[in-house]
Amino acid sequence: MSVDMSMKILIVDDYKTMLRIIRNLLKQLGFSNIEEASDGSEAFKKLKEEGGYDLVISDWNMEPMSGMDLLKQVRADEGMKDLPFVMVTAESKVENVVAAKKAGVSNYIIKPFNAQTLKQKLTTVIGVF
Amino acid sequence: MDVYQEIQAMSDFIHNAKKEISSIKSENPEQDKFLEAKDELDAVVAATEKATGTIMDRCEEIESVANTIPDKEAAEKITHQVTQIYEACTFQDITGQRINKVIDVMKFIEVSLAKLLEGTSSDEKSADVAPLMEKKELTDADLMNGPQLDGQGMGQDDVDKLLADLDD
């Protein structure tokens, strides 16, 4: 499976620094069409109103809407139920990962993470690039 | 020790505990140690966020320069190092979350102490704490408070003036 490097990616995090880090790492990997949101509700609004997204990379712990609630809303939406969704979070308990999996997460990255891990996880979700 | 002495000792202990709690959870915002600690932790988060932003700015600049270097091998080495700095910068998110957890715990303790103090009349609190604050002799520990927040403490000019006044 070849990956379209112009795919539209939404990164979601309430820490501006983390948004910037993920954006820069994605750019290093060759992706250029990257949008940002600071919580689940802003992200869902973008996903619904703008559309055309190919991948979501989201933090979990955000307010007012968490990454988990965003994931559930995305999976409940007929038009986005198969949208690749990667959780990137410091929530590292077993129950967190299990809950995310049950909710339909595509992959799960624990913070802090490195560029290699990001690439590996994205490869499993969207294919080799 | 007879029963009366035991009860007196318990009473003294509870009385002293109330005084200590009152001195921690002051009704005066300027003397509220919880508020002070929260401000300090907020300042730590803000300072690390600012510093991380500066590091990221410089890294992005280095990366853009690296992309213009004709020697591709050297450019890749520079970019690899920049990537590792990006990775290291994730500390800011983690430490920020940890500090927010500490603030949440402090809020919980603050509320618990406030509930505990509800059984103590405000007159008794102020009567107990005021003389304690006045009479207390400053120890080395009292004087070691670390850096002050913006707008608090003295600037260098104030320190110089004070030193000059003390020489007179």
- Is A32 contained in some domain? yes
Residue A95: domain span: 9-115
Question: Residue B57 has what pLDDT?
Answer: 95
Flag whether pLDDT at A85 surpasses 70.
Answer: yes
Q: Do B93 and A90 touch (CB under 8 A)?
A: yes
Counting the structural domains of chain A, the total is 1
- Is A3 contained in some domain? no
**How many C-beta atoms surround the C-beta of residue B132 within 10 A?**
13
**How many C-beta atoms surround the C-beta of residue B1 within 10 A?**
7
- Is A37 contained in some domain? yes
Flag whether pLDDT at A109 surpasses 60.
Answer: yes
Q: What is the mean pLDDT of each run of 10 residues along chain B (168 residues)?
A: 80 77 67 82 90 94 95 95 93 86 85 75 47 55 59 67 66
CATH code, domain with A104: 3.40.50.2300
Identify whether the C-beta of residue A33 lies closer than 8 Å to the C-beta of residue A7.
yes
- Is A125 contained in some domain? no
The whole-model pTM stands at 0.73
Q: What are phi and psi of B27, to 5 degrees?
A: -75, -20
Question: Residue B109 has what pLDDT?
Answer: 85
Flag whether pLDDT at A78 surpasses 90.
Answer: yes
How far lies A73's CA from each of A45, A81, B70, in Å?
11, 9, 48
Identify whether the C-beta of residue A112 lies closer than 8 Å to the C-beta of residue B87.
yes
How far lies A64's CA from each of A41, A108, B64, in Å?
7, 21, 36
Q: Do B87 and A113 touch (CB under 8 A)?
A: yes
B89 closest CB neighbour out of A17, A28, A61: A17
Partners of A86 in beta bridges: A57, A107
Q: Coil, helix or strand for B161? A: helix
Which residues of chain B from 65 to 94 reach within 8 Å of chain A, CB to CB?
A: 79, 83-84, 86-87, 89-94
**How many C-beta atoms surround the C-beta of residue B93 within 10 A?**
27
- Top pLDDT among B27 and A4 is at A4
Question: Residue B127 has what pLDDT?
Answer: 46
- Top pLDDT among A9 and B138 is at A9
Closest-CA residue of A relative to B49 is A17
Q: Which of A91, A90, A87, A95 lies closest to A121, judged by CA?
A: A87
Residues of B in contact with A92 (CB under 8 A): none
**How many C-beta atoms surround the C-beta of residue B39 within 10 A?**
13
pLDDT in tens, A11-59: 999 999 999 999 999 999 999 999 999 999 999 999 999 999 999 999 9
Flag whether pLDDT at A9 surpasses 70.
Answer: yes
Q: Do A115 and B86 touch (CB under 8 A)?
A: yes
Question: Residue B156 has what pLDDT?
Answer: 67
- Is A121 contained in some domain? no
Positive or negative torsion for Cα B25, B29, B32, B33: positive
